[in-house]
Structure 1
């Protein structure tokens, strides 16, 4: 598949060793796209940069861990 002009540049974490992970892409100045690398044509989420920062902070702090 050839990348189309204007198509988001999807990337994974540098810590990823496998291909089954979450990918992120800048969609515009304030929006980040999130998708599953195993299903790149599947559903995608779009969140603001601020919401993504908040989510990552909460994950790192353990606030979303299940008991």
Structure 2
């Protein structure tokens, strides 16, 4: 049984430090800065967005792939 809940959104970036505010507005959260780990990925502790460095994109397997064109 797989207890892993897939992240709601995957964002590909070209830096190893990112900022996340949950999209801002009423549904956002405080601005936080997140360091991508050695694996080139990190998740926001507030909104669970998954950040993946573009150099590691080929290594990342999205646990909930969407049909082509749906992003």
Class of the TM-score when normalised by the shorter of the 2 chains: under 0.3
User: In terms of Rg, which structure is larger?
Assistant: 1
User: TM-score with structure 1 length normalisation?
Assistant: 0.28
User: TM-score with structure 2 length normalisation?
Assistant: 0.27
